[in-house]
Amino acid sequence: MHLCPTFLLLLLRWVRLHLWVRRWRCSNGNNSRLPTCAQRRWAYLRVMVRSLYYNSLTSSDVIMDSLMEPIFWVVDVLTRWFGPVSVFVCLVVVLTSSILLIAYVGLLPMVLSTYSPPWIAWHIGYGHWNLVMIIFHYYKAIRTAPGYPPKVKNEVPFVSVCKKCIIPKPARTHHCGICNACVLKMDHHCPWLNNCVGHFNHRYFFCFCLFLTLGCAYCSISGRNLFLDAYSAIERFKHTDLEKSGIPVTGMGLLIGILTPGQSTYQTPPPTYTFRDKMFHKSIIYMWVLTSTVAVALGGLTIWHAVLISRGETSIERHINNKETERNATRGKVYKNPFNYGRLNNWKVFLGVEKRSHWLTRVLLPSGHAPYGNGLTWDIYPIRKDMMPV
Residues labelled catalytic? 190
- Of 222, 224, 212, 225, which is closest to residue 296 (Cα–Cα)? 212
Pairing of strands 168-169, 160-161: antiparallel
Helix ranges (H only) for 245-363 are: 252-256, 275-311, 315-330, 343-351, 358
- Distance between CA atoms of residues 285 and 296, nearest Å: 17
DSSP conformational letter for 340: -
Helix ranges (H only) for the chain are: 4-28, 36-51, 60-82, 87-102, 108-114, 117-143, 202-222, 224-244, 252-256, 275-311, 315-330, 343-351, 358, 381-387
- Of 339, 343, 336, which is closest to residue 388 (Cα–Cα)? 343
192, 231, 311, 340 from 350: Cα distances, Å: 22, 43, 11, 11
Q: Output the CA torsion sign for 29, 32, 35, 40.
A: positive
- Distance between CA atoms of residues 73 and 75, nearest Å: 5
What are the φ and ψ backbone dihedral angles of 191, each rounded to 5 degrees? Answer: -70, -25
- Distance between CA atoms of residues 173 and 179, nearest Å: 14
Q: How many Cβ atoms sit within 10 Å of the Cβ of residue 247?
A: 12
- Of 260, 262, 264, which is closest to residue 251 (Cα–Cα)? 264
Burial of residue 234, with CB atoms counted within 10 A of its CB: 0-12 exposed, 13-18 middle, 19 or more buried: middle
